[in-house]
Structure 1
Amino acid sequence: MAKLRITQIRSGIGGTRNQRETLRTLGLRKINASTVRDDRPEVLGMIATVTHLVRVEEVDS
């Protein structure tokens, strides 16, 4: 299964509550923080919610 590196590039301040909670659920709390997640439909849906706040890269397992 592919892995995704998700990096927060913009602040959640000023966003909706759902966007801020999605960042927390992804494990992102600060700008430039990164987390590695499996490429799953649930994660892709969360990324779609905050696509303007994060950068996504595919990494080797």
Structure 2
Amino acid sequence: MAQIQIKLVKSVIDRPERQKRTVQALGLGKMGSTKSVENTPQVAGMINAVKHLLEVTEL
């Protein structure tokens, strides 16, 4: 599978609890944190749910 890099560019403060937990499940904590993950259908769905908070780059 292809690797993608995700970066949290907007804060999760004042976001619904579901979005906060999705960002946490992706392995992101503070703003500016990055993580390289495999591009699986499950991860793609999680990214799609919070895409307005993330910056996604293919590696």
Taking structure 1 as the reference length, what is the TM-score of the superposition?
0.94
- Residue aligned with 2:13, SS: coil
Q: Compute the displacement of 1:24 (Å).
A: 0.4
What does 1:38-49 align with in structure 2 at a 5 Å threshold?
A: 38-49=38-49
Alpha-carbon distance in 2 for matches of 1:8, 1:18: 16
CA RMSD after TM alignment: 0.5
Following superposition, which runs of at least 4 residues in structure 1 exceed 4 angstroms of deviation? none
Q: Can you give the 5+ residue segments of structure 2 that lack an aligned partner in the other structure?
A: none
Q: Can you give the 5+ residue segments of structure 1 that lack an aligned partner in the other structure?
A: none
Letter in 2 for 1:58: E
What does 1:1-61 align with in structure 2 at a 5 Å threshold?
A: 1-59=1-59
Taking structure 2 as the reference length, what is the TM-score of the superposition?
0.97
